[in-house]
Structure 1
Amino acid sequence: MNAPRSSRTIHAVGIDLGTTYSCLSYLNSQGQPITLPNDEGELATPSVVLFDDDAVVVGTEALRNSISHPERVIQNAKRYMGDPRKFWVVGGRTWRPPDVATLVIQKLLQGARPILGNIEHAVITVPAQFSDVQRQQTAEAGRRAGLKRVDIINEPVAAALCHVLSEGIWFAEIANEQSVMVFDLGGGTFDLSLVKYNKDRVRVVASGGDLNLGGIDWNRAIEEFACDRFFQEASLDPRLDRESMQAVATEAEQTKRSLSVRPRASLVINHAGRRKSYLLTVEQFEKLTRTLVERLEQITVRTLKQNRMGWAHVDSVLITGGASRMPMVRKMLKRISGTTLNTSLSPDQSISHGAAYYAGMLLSGEKFAKSFLSKDATARLARFKQQSVNARDLGILVRDVKTNYRVPHYLIPANTQLPCDARQTFGTVIPNQKRVQLHIVESGTSPEEPFVRLGACVIEELAPNLPEGSPIEVTIRYDDQARVHVSAKDVNSGTIAKATIVRQESLLKLPPEEQQKLEAGMPISRPPEPAAESAADVAAPRKKPAAAPQSRLIPTPDSPRAKRPAGTPAPRKAPAPEKKAAAEKRPETRKRTVPQPPKVRAVPPPPASLLESAEQPIPLCNDCGEPLDYKGRCTSCGKAAAVPRSSASGQGQQAARPRKRKKPVTEPARKVQLPSDDSEIVDLEAKKAARRARAASGKPTSRPTKRRKQ
């Protein structure tokens, strides 16, 4: 109401939602990107949130208070996006990564409103390696922050758009298609993309990266160095005190920045009344972080090798991201590429500028929207196109007819041009099957990591009296923003079954009045309880750095990092002697109490980590195919069901106490054994091949199905 022109006119707004810093940019009427400052006049806003009793503070002020009040501050939340087990408890309230992202976006929008008025549409950047769950949670955070429409773009693509559409190349005539490697090393994630572009299009050829590799990992190397030196000299460990450790983290960040422009820098540690200063040189810093630089090099070389490209096919190396300023990173890139690096982009603002360009491209194609851009700028953006690729394989879990295990069957390989789709025919597993439950999965960010569960696609009301092996045609699709869509068709009847992706993303579900408080930046008055996730909705755990704090669904005061299944009672165990001795040696500053999360009365289902790594089969419901709890009751539909005899004996007792593994589970961690009458589908070609193999060996081609009495 205060800005009538802005309320009627749509601006092209891009948001770089970073792990450590975030910023917002928009396109002016001439189509040039401009970064808007926040309320404090800063172009980059720290992605840090402080909960100060009745107020929520985001940005630099929250970062300053992280030393004096570390238990009230949340930072680096983007690293845990998509992890349903991660949460923070501050003042009795539970906050999850999407909730923290919502508050950061609200801070950016609040600073932009005096200039742009009400903002209803924005493009938010995400790492190329983000899964569909992480993309959906990012978009949901933007909508809960007050945006009516949220579009997603990969961060390397945004950097490439900024490079191609910047003022130096905007009017240039590019004779031949150029190839560029976008090397984006941010505060928390590393993205790498091979991009080809000309005057009318940016096309991503391949992408790679690591979601757990960024500038904060270099900070932790400095922290470990300083804490080890302090412990050797003073016999006191700052890592045992939260306030001291937060002060060390702040010193490490400043030291890292100083070493990017100076050959040496010093950092100071204050702990337990002792104060010591240490000198760190660039050579020492490079030695401390050699393994991190090697990981960057391995990912870069592997991405080129997997796509059968050499450095001769790369015209330039475009670096961006705040952590790319470090000398050892640039030295490594120069050494392996043999070329001069392109440092024309702003490491801090190029991503948001590219997102603003993409927002302008989207607005130029909408006839009903009145854009703030001039006709000339709209025409130029309308001619330009961008095309990305998916970073992960996409498929479903199917029954392996040889082993009776559920294994991933990928339909769309990684680095496929978007949008794309794939169609394949599968078969039912029992006669007169009424429903099919598809478990949608994406591959991990690396070959060593397990697949990620995106959700369950439930197909109801199949045609009656279908024989075993009846064809079900499954279509799975990535849209241009790497979001997943699934549909299925009953081939016999020709009817398309309704397919709905069931996804519980553990977002806060509040009453309308509480949601209004959250959108206004006010603290909520009731502590929300974590929603119980079904096993099909919980993503497989990823590897995290050893120094990163871990949170579980229901941590207990005596064992905050216990890895037992959610909902099972904690075993009574006396504290270990070494832990008791260490606790007695701790300084008095360790006596700060940490608030514990609220107790959840409902027994949640087993998490995916249990389902994926159990040493014996997990019983599933005969009606919906979801896991049974230790009482034999379905965690999804609530029905009590019989379980196979092989896994029913003593199941409740085994669930109540942790099992002792004899050896680590490797290959079975990627598959789940199934009962014979689950609502599954099989690969028909694989089933035919198995029958032919049994016929050739003289074994029976089919086995009668034993029907259990209900």
Structure 2
Amino acid sequence: MPLNRPKQRVHPVGIDLGTTYSCLSYLTPEGQPVTIPNTEGELTTPSVVFFDGDEVVVGSEALRNSVTSPERVVLHAKRHIGDPNKCWIFDGHVYRPKEISSLIIRKLLDGAEERLGRVRHAVITVPAQFSDVQRQITVQAGVDAGLERVDIINEPVATALCHVLSEGIWFAEIAQDQTVLVFDLGGGTCDLSLVQYNKDEVKVIASGGDLQLGGLDWNQRLEDFACDEFVKSSTSDPRLDLESQQGLAIEIEQVKRSLSVRPKATILVQHDGRRKSILIERERFELLTNDLVKRTEEITKEMLKSHGKGWAHVDSVLVTGGASRMPMIRNMLQRISGTTLNTTLPPDQSISHGAAFYAGMLLSGQSLEKSSLDESASARLQKIKQQSVTGRSLGILIRDPETGDRRPHYLIEANTPLPCAYRQTFGTVVENQKRVHLHIVESGATLGEEYVELGDCLIHSLPEELPKRSPIEVTIQYDEQGRVRVHAVDRKSGQVARTTILRGGGKTSDDDIDVQAPVEEQPSQSKPDEPGDFSNAFEADLLKIETEDIAPSVPEETPVESRSPKKPRSAVDAKRTRKSTRPPKISSSVSLEEAERPIPLCNRCGNILEKSGNCLECGRSGAEKSSKKKLAKRKQSEDPTEPMTSSPTSHKRPRHKPR
């Protein structure tokens, strides 16, 4: 007869998956974060993987072998997450950044399970500027490592949670909201967030950063300096030998740390049977990396400026991330902020601690029989609310008929509070149309960077015998963790159509993601240029398109909170946004009767609109609205290359569903 063993309780676990180092933390039953060492007893694990034949080694041992076997070692895989062309091949097996990340997560879980038992759920941190593709790959890496459920949280938000919920603030009664700038400079990324908090809520106001700026870039400057000095007295360059270069890279990391606490340090270069000691002073190091420091300063100032905030609105600057220890970084922040920096949090562990707190918040809504938290800690965590913002703008591609190029039109702008959604009405262009084709895009991680195409959204299984010009509502949304969801509804029948985001860029089928697919019918294969497909077309005066408030899906375990509407942006920022997202003008030389051009529909009665933008049925009321100057003049134009358009009705800023 089998024994009735008690079910294992779930521990709140947070994982900081870093570019150079990673770590794992959990909450004790009393609600205090504790970092769990790996199987070697180290609190932080190098994010390095060594392939030794059939054996895979992760961590410090892999880092040591990177000198003798650099061709079989993978470092800094996080910087390549989302790059479909990046891979490593060992013994006939192809490893992508997702597989490397999964091996690192598995290493952390091995150490944790020695203390906690089987870990099934964890929160993994990601940079605020990570795209939807990068977030999905991170989640899948956690699942591949053995987790049954993976939630994600932005790294600056995790830092803010650690700050607010750490001992000394946990029980504090904060009289009014405090605003803190979280500056997180890690090994591979620079992440910023402006966070407002009180005793019960942590709310992100704005975020920014650079995914290709981190401590590794400071290391590279030191490495180039050392190699240039070595070449002056030698005919060979250490950068041309993998073993010499990797040995120098490890040396450089230690020298950089030394320069954070000492005015000078010595770099030992070993190459081609020669050894050379090179003295470098902190002032020289700062001169070599002056442009990198200026870049972090520009990012910080731009984030505050773009949101209409000044340093007078910032109560303190919270510094975290291993590379933030460098005096040049702290001096820069001190100079531009004019305030004392808060450096109380452990730079290497605060992010995983914050992720563990968030895991506890998710777990606090469950019964005490499932949670390892005691009743008091669970009650405290359940009161805490956290709200993040979109790191990137989200929208669709439109075509410029003058150039033939596709350009992004963003429906949800960056720094919109999460969760948020945008609903827009489109019209079918042929009788019995079966599918709709959208190109979903996110803006680049930094200003001026190219947009990221998330994939083609193919909307299938439209109702049978659907008349031409039937209104279809397409909803694009970010969930509370910054991941993209899309679905469509036939307005006349109420039927929900199947939607699938097909990930492009040469990714494997494991990266293809079905999004909210209530209809079980398999999607039919089609090409974008087929007559039954949709693309999108707008003219410059059709930016004010139909938007409605919707209810994004929220996991059952997620704490529920109320959301306040987003405050209007400054006039200067609004002007900048309109300029950067304004769609191209579209030619008006095509007649309305042509089926392969956009057909604008009235959102009141569904009838076709005239070129002036007025409805034949609702023209009178439309004229009245125009006389009251509540609607701008619209020039209705057509593009024969695009078989779809939106209905030009009033625009409302998306509201956000309570979580």
Q: Does the alignment reach a TM-score above 0.5? A: yes
State the distance in 2 between where 1:170 and 1:700 align: 58
For 1:404-423, what aligned pairs fall within 5 Å after superposition? Answer: 405-423=405-423
C-alpha displacement of 1:397:
2.0
Q: CA deviation at 1:219?
A: 0.4
Tell me the equivalent position of 1:376: 376
Q: Which residue of 2 aligns with 1:154?
A: 154
> For 1:53 and 1:115, how far apart are their aligned partners in 2?
30
Residue 245 (structure 1) aligns with: 245
Question: For residues 425 and 264 of structure 2, what CA distance do their matches in structure 1 show?
Answer: 63
Q: What residue is the counterpart of 2:475 in the other structure?
A: 475
Give, in angstroms, the shift of residue 235 of structure 1.
Answer: 2.3
Alignment of 1:622 with 2:530, yes or no, is yes
1:333 aligned partner? 333
Q: Alignment partner of 1:298: what SS?
A: helix
How many Å separate the matches in 2 of 1:321 and 1:80? 20
Kindly tell me: are residues 50 and 683 of structure 1, through their superposed partners in 2, closer, same or farther at Cα, counting changes over 3 Å? Answer: farther
* Residue 175 of structure 1: aligned partner: 175
For 1:446, the equivalent position in structure 2 comes to 446
Who is 2:623 aligned against? none
Contact 1:10–1:369 (8 Å) recurs in 2? no
Residues 276 and 411 (structure 1 numbering): CA distance in 2 closer, same or farther, change over 3 Å? same
Find the counterpart in structure 1 of residue 98 from structure 2: 98
Determine the structure 2 residue equivalent to 1:364.
364
Counterpart mapping for 1:614-653 below 5 A: 621-622=529-530
C-alpha contact 1:399 1:681 (8 A) present in aligned 2:
no
With 481-490 and 402-411 compared, the bigger mean Cα shift is at 402-411
SS at match of 2:22: strand
CA distance in 1, matches of 2:601, 2:237: 61
Amino acid at match of 2:424: Q
User: How far does residue 403 in structure 1 lie from its aligned partner after superposition?
Assistant: 5.8
Partner of 2:86: 86
Write the distance in 2 (CA, Å) between the matches of 1:381 and 1:680.
54
Whether contact under 8 Å (1:423, 1:474) holds in the other structure is yes
Contact 1:399-1:683 within 8 A present in 2 as well = no
Aligned mates of 2:402, 2:271 — CA distance in 1: 61
1:228-261 CA deviation, whole Å, 9 max, x = no partner?
1222221211111111111111111111111011
Aligned to 2:390: 390
Q: Which residue of 2 aligns with 1:608?
A: none
Whole-Å separation in 2 of the counterparts to 1:392 and 1:703: 31
Residue 329 of structure 1: how far off its partner (Å) = 0.5
Whole-angstrom distance in 1 between the partners of 2:243 and 2:534: 44
User: Following TM superposition, by how much is the alpha carbon of 1:700 offset from its aligned partner in structure 2, in angstroms?
Assistant: 11
Q: Deviations over 1:23-46 (max 9, x none)?
A: 010011110000000111100000
SS in 1 for 2:114: helix
Match of 2:117 in 1: 117
Report the Cα distance in structure 1 between the residues aligned to 2:320 and 2:306, rounded to whole angstroms.
23
Q: Distance in 1 between matches of 2:610 and 2:254?
A: 62
Q: TM-score normalised to the size of structure 2?
A: 0.78
Change beyond 3 A, Cα 1:359–1:455: same
Deviation at 1:462, TM superposition (A): 3.1
> What CA distance in whole angstroms lies between the structure 2 residues aligned with 1:280 and 1:682?
67
Q: Which digits, 9 at most, give the CA deviation of each residue in 1:171-212, with x for residues without a partner?
A: 111001100000000000110000000000100000000000
**Which stretch of the first structure deviates more once superposed, 84-93 or 157-166?**
84-93
Letter matched to residue 412 of structure 1: I
Distance 1:398 1:133 in 2: 21
Which position in structure 2 is the counterpart of 1:590? none
Structural mapping, 1:210-229, within 5 Å: 210-229=210-229
- Give the equivalent residue in structure 1 for 2:235: 235
Task: State the distance in 2 between where 1:683 and 1:246 align.
Answer: 60
Q: Does the residue aligned with 1:226 lie in a helix, a strand or coil?
A: helix
5 Å-filtered alignment, 1:263-662, equals 263-367=263-367, 370-400=370-400, 405-429=405-429, 433-463=433-463, 470-503=470-503, 621-622=529-530
1:428 deviates by 3.7
| Aligned: 1:262 with 2:170 | no
Is the 1:435–1:679 Cα contact (8 Å) retained in structure 2? no
3-state SS, counterpart of residue 8 of structure 1? coil
Judged with a 3 Å threshold, the aligned counterparts in structure 2 of structure 1 residues 198 and 5 are, in CA distance, closer, same or farther, namely farther
Distance (Å, rounded) in 1 between the aligned partners of 2:510 and 2:483 = 24
The 3 A distance-change label for structure 1 pair 62 and 201 is same
Decide whether the 8 Å contact of 1:47 with 1:76 is kept in 2: yes
1:566-616 per-residue CA deviation (whole Å, 9 max, x = no partner) reads: xxxxxxxxxxxxxxxxxxxxxxxxxxxxxxxxxxxxxxxxxxxxxxxxxxx
Q: Partner residue of 1:12?
A: 12
Q: Give the superposition deviation at 1:435.
A: 1.4
Match of residue 650 from structure 1:
none
State the SS of the aligned residue for 1:65. helix
Tell me the residue number matched to 2:575. none
Q: Structure 1 residue 451: deviation in Å?
A: 1.1
1:369 and 1:505 map into 2 onto residues whose CA distance is: 45
Post-superposition offset of 1:422:
1.1
My pick for the range that moved more, 443-452 or 328-337, is 443-452
Q: Which runs of 5+ in 2 are unaligned?
A: 516-526, 536-579, 603-607, 614-632, 644-659
Q: For residues 88-108 of structure 1, what are the alpha-carbon distances to aligned partners after superposition, in whole Å with 9 as ceiling and x for unaligned?
A: 112222110010111001100
Quote the Cα distance in structure 2 between the aligned partners of 1:500 and 1:681: 23
* Letter paired with 1:622: E
Deviation for aligned residue 1:699 = 13
Aligned twin of 1:36 = 36
Equivalent residues of 1:428, 1:680 under 8 A apart: no
Q: Does structure 2 conserve the Cα–Cα contact (< 8 Å) formed by 1:625 and 1:678?
A: no
The alpha carbon displacement at 1:285 in A equals 0.5
Contact 2:399–2:642 (8 Å) recurs in 1 = no
Deviation at 1:220, TM superposition (A): 0.5
Counterpart amino acid of residue 327 in structure 2: P
Q: Which deviates more from structure 2 when the two are superposed, residues 447-456 or residues 322-331? A: 447-456
Map 1:664-679 onto structure 2 (within 5 A): none
Q: TM-score, normalised by structure 1?
A: 0.72
Judged with a 3 Å threshold, the aligned counterparts in structure 2 of structure 1 residues 243 and 429 are, in CA distance, closer, same or farther, namely farther
Compute the displacement of 1:690 (Å). Answer: 11
Q: Which amino acid aligns with 2:112?
A: A
Equivalent position of 1:140 in the other structure: 140
C-alpha displacement of 1:467 = 6.4
State the Cα distance separating 1:456 from its structure 2 match: 2.2
Q: After TM superposition, give the deviation of residue 5 of structure 1 in Å.
A: 8.2
Q: Return the alpha-carbon distance in structure 2 between the equivalents of residues 309 and 699 of structure 1.
A: 38
Over 3 Å counting, the alpha-carbon distance change for 1:145 and 1:154 in structure 2 is same
CA distance in 2, matches of 1:85, 1:471: 39
Give me the whole-angstrom Cα distance separating, in 2, the residues matched to 1:57 and 1:223.
Answer: 26
Do the aligned partners of 2:436 and 2:534 also contact (CA within 8 Å) in 1? no
Counterparts in 2 of 1:378 and 1:689: CA distance versus 1, 3 Å: same
Compared CA separation, residues 470 and 702, structure 1 to 2 (3 A): farther
One-letter amino acid of the counterpart of residue 385, structure 1: K
CA offsets 1:122-146 (integer angstroms, 9 cap, x no match): 1110000011111111111111111
The aligned counterpart of 1:607 is none
Asked if the contact 1:99/1:141 (under 8 Å) is kept, the reply is: yes
Q: CA deviation at 1:405?
A: 4.6
Distance 1:681 1:232, change over 3 A: farther
Task: Encode CA deviations 1:383-428: one digit per residue, 9 max, x unaligned.
Answer: 1111100111111223456665533221111111111111111234
> Which consecutive residues of structure 1, in runs of 5 or more, have no partner in the other structure?
508-529, 538-618, 628-666
> 1:186 corresponds to which residue?
186
**8 Å CA contact retained: 1:457, 1:501:** yes
Secondary structure at the counterpart of residue 233 of structure 2: helix
Contact 2:19/2:78 (<8 A) preserved: yes
Aligned counterparts of 2:444 and 2:397: Cα–Cα separation in 1: 14
Contact 2:597 2:639 in 1 (8 A): no
Q: Note the alpha carbon deviations across 1:660-704, whole angstroms, 9 max, x for none.
A: xxxxxxx9xx99x9xx9999978769xx999459xx9x9998979
Question: Cα 1:620–1:122, aligned 2, differ >3 Å: closer, same or farther?
Answer: closer
How far apart, CA to CA, are the structure 1 residues paired with 2:492 and 2:362? Answer: 41
SS at 2:378 equivalent: helix
Cα gap change, 1:291/1:702 in structure 2, threshold over 3 Å: closer, same or farther? Answer: closer
How far 1:276 moved relative to its partner? 1.4
